Amino acid sequence: MKLPEIDLYLIAPEIILTAFGFLVLLADVFSPRTEKKGYLGILSLIGIVVAFFYTLPLIGSGKSGFEGMFTADGFALFLKVTFLIIAFITILISMGYAEREGIAFGEYYALILFSTLGMSLMASGTHLITIFLGLETMSIAIYVLAGMLREDRRSVESAFKYFLLGAFATGFLLYGIALLYGATGSLQLKEIATYIASKNLLRNPMLMISLVFLTIGFGFKIASVPFHMWTPDVYEGAPTSITAFMATGVKAAGFAALIRVFFTALPQFRPDWTSIMWLISVATMTVGNIVAISQSNIKRMLAYSSIAHAGYILVAFVAGNDIGISGILFYLMAYAFMNLGAFTCVILLGKKGEENTLITDYSGIGFKYPLLAASMTVFLLSMAGIPPLGGFMAKVYVFSAAVKEKFYWLAILGVLNSAVSVYYYLRVTVLMYFREPQREITGLQFSPASVLALIIALIGTFYMGLFPANVLSFAQKSIVGLM
C-alpha cells in the first residue's frame, strides 16, 4: 500500500481561497436578507490577502508534489501573485459597483474567489487533468458572473454566449488532451515530452491533430483571432467589474496553461507551433487594433484592445526565449494594472441605470472630473505603449524578444500595430480634454473602494514603467527551470 504524496503546504493558497469562498457564501445566507452586505467584500479581500501571504514563502522553493500533478515553481507563483492582485482589485472595484447595480450577493464574491482558485490551478498544474479542472473551475464561475445582471438582456446574452462557445472550445481542448494521451500514454507534461523524444513521434498524425485542438482550446480562452468572435459581445454585456476580471485574469490564466503545456509537454513540436502562432499573433494584433478603431462603445473598444494585447503577448510566445517568457509574465502583470484601471474609470463614470459607456460620453469630462480623466489618460497611454508607463516596458520586452530570435517581421508588424492603436486610445483622451460635453453627466458617486482600486492601479502602472527592473528580475527568476 502506497499513500499518494500529499503536501498541503504547497496548495495552501488554493485551500485558503476555497475556504474563504465558502465562508463568504455561508456568511451571506446566515445574515438577514435585507441587510447591507459590504462586509462580504471585505471578507473576500481578507481571504485574498491571507492567500497572498501563504503564496510568498513558497517563492524560490520550486517544489512539486501530488505525484507530478501540481507544482509551485516560480512560473506558477509569479502568476498566482498576478491573479491575487487582479482578484483583489476586482473585488475593490466590485464593492462600489456591485452595490450600485444590486448584484452584491455573497455568490458574486464567492465566485470571484472560486475562479481565482481555478486560475491558480491552471498555473500550477503539471498534469493535463489538473490544468483542465482548473480551467473549468475558472470558466464555470465566470459564466455565472457574466450573467449576474439578471435584469439586463445583454448580460444574460453575454453569459449564454460565453457559456455555449466556451463549452464548445472546452470540447476541443478535451479532444486534444485525449489524443495526446492516446499517442503518448500519459497526461503528465514532462512524461509526455520524454515519451515523444524517446519514440521520435514528430510526424505522428494524432499528435499533430492534438496540437491543433489544444491551440484552438487555449486560443479561445486568450481571445486570439480567429477564436475571438465572442469577446466583444461578452465583454460588453457582462458587468463591467467582471469584464475587467475576464480581460486580465482569464487571459493571464489562459496564457499560463498555454505556455506550460506547449513548452513543457510539446517542446519537440516547437517548429510546428511557431509557424501557426506566428500567423495567429499577427492576425490577432491586426484584427484587434483595426476593429477597435471603429467602435463607439468604450467596453467594446477595450474588448478589441484586449484582443490586440493577446496578439502582442503571442509575439513573445513565438520568440519563446527567456526574455520572451519573462516578458510575457511582465506583460500580463502590467496589463492587469492598466486594464483594471481603465475599467475602473469606465465604472466610475457610470451610475445606476446610466452606464455612460459610449465613447462620446467622455467628451469634456476632463474639466468636470479632472482626476478621473487624468487616470483614464494614464491607463490608455500605458496601453498604447507610451513611456514611462508599464505598458511601454512590457512592449519593449516582448518585441525585443522577437528581434533577438530574428523574427524581424513579427516585431515590425507588432510595432506598426502598436502605432495604429495609439489612434483609438488617444481619441478618448482628445474627447475628454478638447471637446465640449455632449450631454450632462452629473451625480457620479466615487465609492472609496473603487478609488483605492484606481490608486493601486495607478501606482502599479507607474511603478512598472519607472522601475521595471525589479519586476523583470522577479519574472526572470521565475521562469528558471520552465524550459
Site residues for other proteins per CB under 8 A: 1, 3, 18, 22, 25-26, 29-30
Three-state secondary-structure class, residue 305: helix
Q: State in angstroms the smallest separation of the CB of 177 from other proteins.
A: 19
Q: Are 85 and 251 in contact (CB under 8 A)?
A: no
Closest CB to other proteins among 26 and 42? Answer: 26
Three-state secondary-structure class, residue 174: helix
Closest CB to other proteins among 3 and 271? Answer: 3
> How far apart (Å, rounded) are the C-alpha atoms in residues 362 and 355?
12
Q: State in angstroms the smallest separation of the CB of 284 from other proteins.
A: 35
> How far apart (Å, rounded) are the C-alpha atoms in residues 437 and 286?
32
Closest CB to other proteins among 209 and 482? Answer: 209
Angle in degrees, 0-180, between the axes of helices 408-434 and 270-293, rounded to the nearest 10: 20
Angle in degrees, 0-180, between the axes of helices 106-124 and 38-55, rounded to the nearest 10: 20
Closest CB to other proteins among 204 and 297? Answer: 204
Q: State in angstroms the smallest separation of the CB of 201 from other proteins.
A: 10
Closest CB to other proteins among 28 and 101? Answer: 28
CA distances, 25 to each of 80, 109, 249, 369 (Å): 23, 8, 22, 37
Copy the grid coordinates of residue 205.
498524425
> How far apart (Å, rounded) are the C-alpha atoms in residues 447 and 95?
8
CA distances, 343 to each of 36, 84, 93, 159 (Å): 25, 18, 9, 19
Q: State in angstroms the smallest separation of the CB of 30 from other proteins.
A: 6
Closest CB to other proteins among 110 and 449? Answer: 110
Q: State in angstroms the smallest separation of the CB of 1 from other proteins.
A: 5
Q: State in angstroms the smallest separation of the CB of 4 from other proteins.
A: 8
Q: State in angstroms the smallest separation of the CB of 185 from other proteins.
A: 13
Closest CB to other proteins among 30 and 436? Answer: 30
> How far apart (Å, rounded) are the C-alpha atoms in residues 206 and 225?
24
* C-alpha atoms less than 13 angstroms from C-alpha of 217 in its C-beta half-sphere: 26
Closest CB to other proteins among 1 and 440? Answer: 1
- Own/partner contacts of 443-446, CB < 8 Å, gap of 24 or more, are 443/351, 444/348, 444/349, 444/350, 444/351, 444/369, 445/96, 445/100, 445/351, 446/96, 446/348, 446/372
Q: State in angstroms the smallest separation of the CB of 175 from other proteins.
A: 17
Closest CB to other proteins among 207 and 348? Answer: 207
> How far apart (Å, rounded) are the C-alpha atoms in residues 479 and 374?
35
Q: Are 219 and 227 in contact (CB under 8 A)?
A: yes
Q: State in angstroms the smallest separation of the CB of 162 from other proteins.
A: 20
Q: State in angstroms the smallest separation of the CB of 203 from other proteins.
A: 11
Q: Are 339 and 306 in contact (CB under 8 A)?
A: yes
Task: Concatenate the DSSP letters of all residues of 78-121 into one string.
Answer: HHHHHHHHHHHHHHHHHHHHHHHHT---HHHHHHHHHHHHHHHH
Q: State in angstroms the smallest separation of the CB of 124 from other proteins.
A: 19
Closest CB to other proteins among 24 and 315? Answer: 24
CA distances, 254 to each of 313, 324, 395 (Å): 12, 17, 19
Closest CB to other proteins among 25 and 193? Answer: 25
